[in-house]
Structure 1
Amino acid sequence: MSYFIYMLECCDGSLYTGITTDVIKRLDEHNSSTKGAKYTKARRPVKLVYEEASNDRSSASKREYAIKKLTRIKKLQLINKASSKED
């Protein structure tokens, strides 16, 4: 089963990082009134700004932790680097 590390931009401009097996479903949960992280409930709507695939939960969790430790500037650089590859 593949896991994904994702970053969301909240309506207040803050960034939220998490892991999931289904990015679209998880994004819908963050934006719904019944599910989602406590952090994003007060900061809706959120939008997906970054996703990265991982082979397993362990490596996804480690990568999530590493991203969470980055400064905001480094996170934005990661997002910009990924979005420039898509173009």
Structure 2
Amino acid sequence: MKFYYVYIVECSDMLLYTGITNNLVRRINEHNSGLNKSCFTYKRRPINLIFSQEFSDVNQAIYFEKKIKKWSAFKKRALSNEDDLLLHLLAECRNDSHFRNKD
């Protein structure tokens, strides 16, 4: 069975990068070796893996990657630290139009 991994790495400048791969070890090594000069992580090496999630269905992995790419860095860090309470708080809607924010 083939597995897919959604991962988050922290770059040397503390920025986060989210990606997907079918070989996590190889992909982290590629980021750190700087094979692709146009890659986001190229000038931000070394990188450090802070989160990974394994999937057996590529479509689920793609869906999850697209979802967390839109998250704030705070929310991604909460995910990587397994801080469920903070993750829940950061997921709450804070828009003025949200029903909880109306008088």
After superposition, the Cα gap between the structure-2 partners of 1:37 and 1:9, relative to the gap in structure 1 and judged at 3 Å, is farther
Worse-superposed segment, 33-42 or 59-68: 33-42
Structure having the higher helix fraction is: 1
Alignment of 1:58 with 2:59, yes or no, is yes
The structure 1 segments of at least 4 consecutive aligned residues displaced by more than 3 Å after TM superposition are: none
* Amino acid corresponding to residue 9 of structure 2 in structure 1: L
Structure 2: runs of 5 or more not aligned? 84-103
Worse-superposed segment, 23-32 or 34-43: 34-43
Cα offset for 1:22?
Answer: 1.1
Cα offset for 1:71?
Answer: 1.1
After superposition, the Cα gap between the structure-2 partners of 1:9 and 1:70, relative to the gap in structure 1 and judged at 3 Å, is same
Relative to the length of structure 1, the TM-score reads 0.86
CA–CA separation in structure 1 for the residues paired with 2:50 and 2:41: 14
Contact 1:67 1:75 in 2 (8 A): yes
Greater RCO (CA < 8 Å, at least 6 residues apart) = 1
Equivalent residue pairs, number: 82
Root-mean-square deviation (CA, aligned residues, Å) is 1.6
